[in-house]
A and B are shown apart, each in its own frame.
Chain A
Amino acid sequence: MPPRTEEGVIRIVCRHLRDEGFVVVREVPFMTKRIDAAAVRPRGRTLVAVEAKASDWMRGLSQALIYQLSAHRVYVAIAAAQHQVNLSLFRRHGIGLVLAGNEVKTLVAPSPSPFVIPMQAKELKKRILGNRSR
């Protein structure tokens, strides 16, 4: 049964990331926004940010573009029930798209963000690894 809420979507994605060996933190403050989930491997350099959307993938894409200022790979995670997603728009902007259902399926792989501001990335990493006990 695919999740119906953003909470359901993000839970599935976070579990998946943890299984892959990432340290994951939810609701990470970034400028005036909050990243739904941010992750990095304990000794890794690549920062991952995820925006979850149960509907309105376009809003998710807008949010995800901003996260490219602080994370190297950015995904929008949507519930399997969402239709008519414009995959080429995701490809053009280098944003990844994953489908959260019984398992996490990657529809579009993200490109490394060329927009990362080093100071923002450092801050994000600190926020993730500084919260490992959560």
Chain B
Amino acid sequence: MEIYYRLGTAGEQELFGSETASFEGILVGAHIASLGRTWVTGLIVRTGKPYHVDPMTYVFAQDPQIVRRADEVRKSYDELADSYGGVIRQNAGRRPLRRSELRGNSVSDLASRVVDFEETVLSETGPVQATLVEYLEEIGETVHHVMPPSLVLPPYFYAESIEDPWYGVNLELAEATREVSDPGRVAPVLCISQRAAGTDSGLERMAQDYGEYPTVYVWISGLDEQRATQTALYGYGKLVHALARRGTHPRTLYGGPFSLALATAGLEGVSSGICYSEWKDVAVRATGGGFPTRYYVPLNRTKAVLANAARLLASVPECMCDCEVCRDVVPVSIRRRRPNPEVAEAIASLTQLETKRHLMRVRAGEVRKMRAHSAASIAARLEADARLARQRNTHVYGVPSSHLQSWAAVMHRLKL
């Protein structure tokens, strides 16, 4: 199981640079790569991590407000639309792209423009990037040369079901991408609704259609692992398993702790932002307002706003984490006291950077543990943790745990 964190803002560079042991690669949204190509290239050069570029084409078939700010198209999407050209440029921020506008030459044209963008946007050969690399070498920083992305993601759009015309368009775009790129690196994105993943016939068809690609990215729109029904999670698990049985390597474009457990179903990679974006709905625009600082509670496998986490840990030291970040902030010597306002004070004073570092360390540990466990033992672990969380009344502190029981039930039901 590989973790590819999504790059959010330039402010996260330090985190990516200092926590390289906690993840395998970087996923860069094309709009971020387009606007921030210099600093993103700098990050890749410094970390030496492989990366994939999410082409983000789906946004252009959604409500134009998603790519707009006030009266104009956001600069990042505007530049991206320039790079993609054609029907994307004509409609960006005006109206949603129509399925009928992507046929024949426009399919192959979009595929080759997207491939070209992904292959070159983060190269060292641009004038500014070349100067940056030169500068980093000059000041003695370790510089890794930027390789092309290890996978190429074809343009993709959201399909409500396999009968949705966009489903067919996505297959055409994937095929067209294979013609203009190294077929072994083409990783189409299966971007679908929860409903589409809910029927056996639909799953089989998707596994058949996408099973011929060596890697497939799965994105079930709006699948919030913590709040999703067992049926929805079961559909997701079955889809991953069906793809893996066909010999492809499934990854997820947005995923959290439940996705990690799907390593036992054949899921090979999970992407998310660092402490955010573990799920996403295609139709929801980014607000840009940021998030309050949240602390990942390992027992509950959920993030809690700092105040809730601080209060919980002051009463329930069993929930205290043992990662290096937390050991630095809360010395082991004071952890077992109860009640423990010192713990609350220490947790309440964590910075956003520290909570993110904590999450990265814990997540890396979770992945290591998953490697050594079967689906049955993961389910048993989830049940044991759900029991402990219930006994400790973590929900009373605003830190829920009922999802752990649901996840365990789904893991049993998947019969892996």
Question: Interface on A for B, CB 8 Å cutoff?
Answer: 30-33, 58, 61-63, 65-66, 68-69, 89, 93, 114-117, 119-120
Contact = CB atoms under 8 A, between A and B. Distances in A.
A72 to B, nearest CB: 12
B311 interface: yes
Given A31-B306, A115-B314, A62 B396 contact: yes
B397 interface: yes
Quick one: which of A58, A61, A68, A69 has the most chain B CB within 10 A? A69
Contact of A117 (B292, B306, B341, B397): B341
Contacts of A117: 341, 344-345, 348
Given A31-B348, A114-B341, A66 B307 contact: yes
Nearest to B340: A115
A34 B144 CA distance: 48
Given A30-B307, A69-B311, A89 B396 contact: yes
Contact of B339 (A30, A115, A119): A115
Contacts of B311: 65-66, 68-69, 115
Contacts of B345: 117, 119-120
A31 B295 CA distance: 14
Contacts of A89: 396
Nearest to B399: A62
22 contacts: A30-B307, A31-B307, A32-B305, A61-B396, A62-B308, A62-B397, A62-B398, A65-B397, A69-B307, A69-B310, A69-B341, A69-B344, A114-B339, A114-B341, A115-B311, A115-B315, A115-B339, A115-B341, A115-B344, A117-B348, A120-B345, A120-B348
Given A32-B305, A62-B397, A114-B341, 6 more contacts: A66-B310, A66-B398, A69-B310, A69-B344, A115-B311, A117-B341
A111 to B, nearest CB: 11
